[in-house]
Amino acid sequence: MGVHAYERFWMFLSGLMLAAFLAAVGFSVFGMGIDVPGAAGTAPALASAAQAGPFAQPGVREVAPGQYEVIVSARAWQYQPNEIRVPAGSRVTFIVTSQDVIHGFWIQGTTVNTMVMPGEVTQVAYTFDKPGRYTFLCHEYCGTGHHVMNGAVIVQ
Ligand code: CUA
């Protein structure tokens, strides 16, 4: 079977592009530490239950030197806690759920960007190397107060 030179060229180019895209994905995962927010289990849906378990006490706690865990409970139209303070260089794992409807959790200037769903617990981590104020906000339309739903991670 003869393959035309042009066809061979395009086949080669397609293979090259696949390899380049795979390399880009590989680099983002292993080189830059970007990962997809994972489902960390299910939380009982709706207000009363989403306030149970770890979500009974939202807030920041140090789990190991330089490592923090933040339990975040979202509801229309606020986050609890809405101010998170950690020292620079901290690895922070956010464990997030919603008490009512679908919200978003996007921390500006970081790779943290996830949906927050009632009945689901989302876990996502980030290392805050640079001190500063990182605003987080809701990016899933959730009602009339959607635009005021925000908070901040303050890295000291
Ligand atoms: Cu919560 Cu939009």
Each residue's pLDDT tens digit, 78-129: 999 999 999 999 999 999 999 889 999 999 999 999 999 988 899 999 999 9
In this structure, what token pair is assigned to residue 100? 């009512």
Q: How far is CA 108 from CA 1, 57, 134, 154, in A?
A: 55, 25, 6, 12
Residues, the chain, total?
A: 156
If one counts every other C-beta atom within 10 angstroms of the C-beta of residue 83, the result is 11
Ligand 1: atom nearest CA of 141 is 2
Ligand 1: atom nearest CA of 116 is 1
Ligand 1: atom nearest CA of 77 is 1
Contact 66, 89 (CB under 8 A): yes
Contact 88, 112 (CB under 8 A): no
The percent of residues in the chain predicted with pLDDT above 70, rounded, is 89
Query: What are residue 114's DSSP bridge partners?
Result: 105
**How far does residue 24's CA lie from ligand 1's centre (Å)?**
32
| Residues flanking ligand 1, CB < 6 Å | 77, 103, 138, 140-142, 146, 149
In this prediction, residue 39 carries a pLDDT of: 64
The whole model's pTM is what?
0.72
